[in-house]
Structures are given as C-alpha cells and as structure tokens.
Amino acid sequence: MKKMIVGFLIIAVLGIPAAAYEVPDLNRQGSIRISMYYDGSPVSGGEMTLCRVGDIHEDNGNYSFVLSQDFALSGISLENIQSASAAKEAAAFASKHGLTGSTIQIGTDGHVIFEKLELGLYLAVQNKAAQGYERTKPFFISLPMLISDTYSYQIDAGPKVSPVPEKPKLELPQTGQSGWPIWTFLLSGAGLLLLTKGKKNA
C-alpha cells in the first residue's frame, strides 16, 4: 500500500488530460487507510470520520472534482484540495447539517481503514482524539490518487498527530518568610478586640 503524507504529497485528479496519463477506472472501488503515529509509535484510541465531499467529473478526457449532492450548497472550492481552510470549512458545514459520514474507531496499531469506497474526494475529520492527544485537523483525501503517472486505489494517509501541550505549573512566589506574620496579624487583631472591649467596660 503506497504511503501519502497529508499536506505534502496529495495529488489531485484535477484537469489532467487522459492522453497524458493512465485513465482512471471509474467503475472501481477503493480503500483509505489513515495511520495515526507520533514519534514513530502508533497512537491508538479515538475515532476518525470519513465523508464523501466530491464526485469525479469527466469532461473530454479531463478529470476534476465537483461537490457531491450533500455538499452542493456549501459553496466550497475544490480547486485546491490541499487547502486546510477549505477542509475546515467543509468540516464545519458537515457538522452544521448533520452529515455524519462513516466513523470507525482507531485500532491499537494506530490504523483505521475505510473499505469498499466509491471514487471521489473525501473529508477526514477526527471528532474524538486519543487520550493525551489533540484532534488532527480536517483534511481531504483523493480517491483514486495519481502517483508516478499511475492511479492508486488503496490510499494510505498520515496526518500530523500532536500530544496535548502540558499546562505550566503555577508556583507561589517565594518570600523567604515563615508563617509567623499571619499569626502576628491574628493575635494583633485579637488584642485590639480585647482592648476595645475593655474600654467599653471602663
């Protein structure tokens, strides 16, 4: 299975003449495996949701993505599927309109696999992260993907995984004094109270 690093090697099926490259088989299905790793180790737990955002459109041998029926009213531009802002906008639209897609729990090996998928453009959203880690940012995945002039129908995506930042510890300022001043104030207060009471009795 060929590996794709999100944000760097996403290759869109956009405006590619059929004569220059292999023609995609639009009757095929594909799969998407999302690998969650941090510092070389798998990150298990949490969930990943996959929504189909775009359909493949063919025009005189040129292939591009157009918004699917569910996302048609979103107005999102699919000209650049590497755009983080477009993916974020698509995720917000899906959440607002209750487009749940398919959700799978991330396994102990750090992988989640979506199989028997129709071809198109997909949006990956992590609504629930593994304990101790932040949710990955939404991103698009092209299926199929053009790699070295050949279409791949089994995609492996590796989004950036980050641990939750540690909160800074709050430290009380060091005064170099012991606890005696507070007792001094308390005793002084008690003395003033007794003095006042004595004056009233006099």
pLDDT digits (tens, 9 = 90+) for 150-183: 999 999 999 999 999 988 776 666 655 554 454 4
Which range of 9-23, 115-129, 178-192 scores highest in mean pLDDT? It is: 115-129
Give the rounded distance of the alpha carbon of 3 from its chain centre: 19
Higher per-residue pLDDT: 97 or 14:
97
Q: Tell me the pLDDT tens digit for each residue of 103-126.
A: 999 999 999 999 999 999 999 999
CA–CA gap between residue 75 and residue 97 (Å, rounded): 14
Vertex 36: Cα angle to 76 and 139 (nearest 5):
5
Burial of 71 (0-12, 13-18, 19+ CB in 10 A): buried
Rounded Cα distance, 90 and 54, in Å: 11
Helix (H) or strand (E) holding 61: none
Is 88 strand, coil or helix?
A: helix
